[in-house]
Amino acid sequence: LPVLANQHVIKAGYVLDVASGKQLKDQYIVVDNGKITSISSNQPASFDQTKLIDLSDKYLVPGLMDMHTHVVRNLSKNYFDSYFQSPHRSTIGGVVNIEKTLLAGITTIRNVGASDYRDVALRNAVNAGEIPGPRMFVSGPSLGITGGHCDSNALNHTFNEKSQGVADGPWAARLKVRQNVKYQVDVIKFCATGGVFSKGTKLGQRQYTFEEMKAIVDEAHTHGRTVAAHAHGTEGIQFAIKAGVDSIEHASFLDKETIKLAKKYGTYLSMDIYNTEYTLSKGEENGVPEENLNKERKVGGIQRESFSKAVKAGVNMVMGTDAGIYPHGDNAKQLSRMTKFGMTPLQALQAATINSAKLLKQEKTLGQIKEGFFADIIAVDANPLEQITTLENVSFVMKDGVVYKQ
């Protein structure tokens, strides 16, 4: 075996094949130039011993993928921070947050909603190797109707406040998609219904019309971008699915018909069922207004029931946490809630790896520890299929063949 400059050989105790659920014992994983070039129970014939990473007492899992984050936001710290922080300051916060995220074993994120293309800047800096962070698939400003969940409605009208992604009507919405594409987003996010953390919006209330949603999806797909729709209420979820979105974020109010629809269209559900606990215990102390706390109290339980129903029905599920509502780096806490509300540990891990890779259309290179795949590998001390919470304390993180934590 030729010794390449950036080669590693990992001696692994157990390697989880997330596709089959099998755990392969005592494997050697060879990593060359960021990719996995072989996995075998035989030690490579010859290699640079200094490049050996001994994880023979660990359980290896593909790097986790979180499909719903807000890395340039810290709702958890001070609800009104965004009013007082410049975009530059908050982007620097993002630098800190993505490192925390990566070190927690989240090697890929989708960031859904950031003004000023702060997420694009972060992604580009990560890709250029300037700062540590996960692989980032980013949306730039979220599209939304005037006064909707993706607008800013807190200040009175004399401030003329308006979020950057606000667009009413199919053509205005197409223009926003085109602008986001122009400034290099990977995914388009829009708000289909009201939400918890916005002023004056109702969770169950649909916002964009079907015509607008179709225009957004058509424009995005034309330009090779996937679409994520924020939707709590049933009608908004249904319209978004029928309009052809790739994922529904939150998906709180699901009935039988909507679940059927999601199955028929193959839509992925990204349900943030952990953050409820954080908001209800810490929200008040962090200054979250009563209106928003109240909405959280109403939706949390229902969303978890919907999650259980969707899992039972076999809908496509990914892991989406809404990190930023709670502290960055706690993303994996959601996995145990996913098992509590109906998934097996393997299903939860599949949601956070192979399914997320499919949603991103990266399933040929991300989401598995497999030959030809990017070397995004994490390790934990206990068997994650028996003890899912072990993923809250990862002891090893490799992304792109680079070790970030050991």
* Interacting residue ranges for ligand ARG, rule: CB under 6 A: 195-197, 250, 272, 275-276, 296, 299-300, 303, 322, 325
Residues 6+ apart with CB under 8 A from 385: 16, 21, 23, 345, 346, 349
Minimum separation from the CB atom of position 135 to ligand ARG (A): 22
Select 97 or 276, whichever has its Cβ closest to ligand ARG: 276
| Spatial CB neighbours of 239, under 8 Å, sequence gap ≥ 6 | 192, 206, 208, 209, 210, 213
Q: Say how far residue 314 (Cα) sits from the centre of its chain.
A: 20
225 to 186, 187, 210, 245, 264: CA distances (angstroms): 6, 5, 19, 10, 21
Nearer to ligand ARG, 192 or 216 (CB): 192
Shortest Å, Cβ 73 to ligand ARG: 10
Question: CB under 8 Å to 127, separation ≥6 — which residues?
Answer: none
Strand partners, 381: none
Q: How far apart are CA 168 and CA 145, in angstroms?
A: 5
**Nearest distance from C-beta of residue 154 to ligand ARG, angstroms:** 13
Euclidean distance between CA atoms 368 and 353, whole angstroms: 7
- Comparison of 79 and 210: residue with beta carbon closer to ligand ARG: 79
The minimum distance between CB 241 and ligand ARG, in angstroms, equals 18
Q: Which one-letter amino acid corresponds to residue 6?
A: N
**155 contacts: CB under 8 Å, gap ≥ 6:** 161
Identify the DSSP state of 353. I
CB of 377 to ligand ARG, least distance (A): 30
* Token duo for residue 43: 């030690």
- The least CB distance from residue 394 to ligand ARG, in Å, is 24
195/401 with CB nearer ligand ARG: 195
Question: By C-beta, is 197 or 396 nearer to ligand ARG?
Answer: 197
Is 107 or 247 the residue whose CB approaches ligand ARG more closely? 247
Q: Judged by CB, which is closer to ligand ARG: 23, or 82?
A: 82
Name the closest residue to ligand ARG (Cβ): 195
CB of 81 to ligand ARG, least distance (A): 16
Q: Measured from the CB of residue 290, what is the shortest distance to ligand ARG in angstroms?
A: 15
Enumerate the β-bridge partners of residue 166: 144
Q: Which is nearer to ligand ARG, 10 or 231 (CB)?
A: 231
Residue among 10 and 229 whose Cβ is closer to ligand ARG: 229
Amino acid at 171: W
Residue that the structure tokens 């499919």 belong to:
358
Question: Measured from the CB of residue 300, what is the shortest distance to ligand ARG in angstroms?
Answer: 5
3-state secondary structure 208-258: CCHHHHHHHHHHHHHCCCEEEEEECCHHHHHHHHHHCCCEEEECCCCCHHH
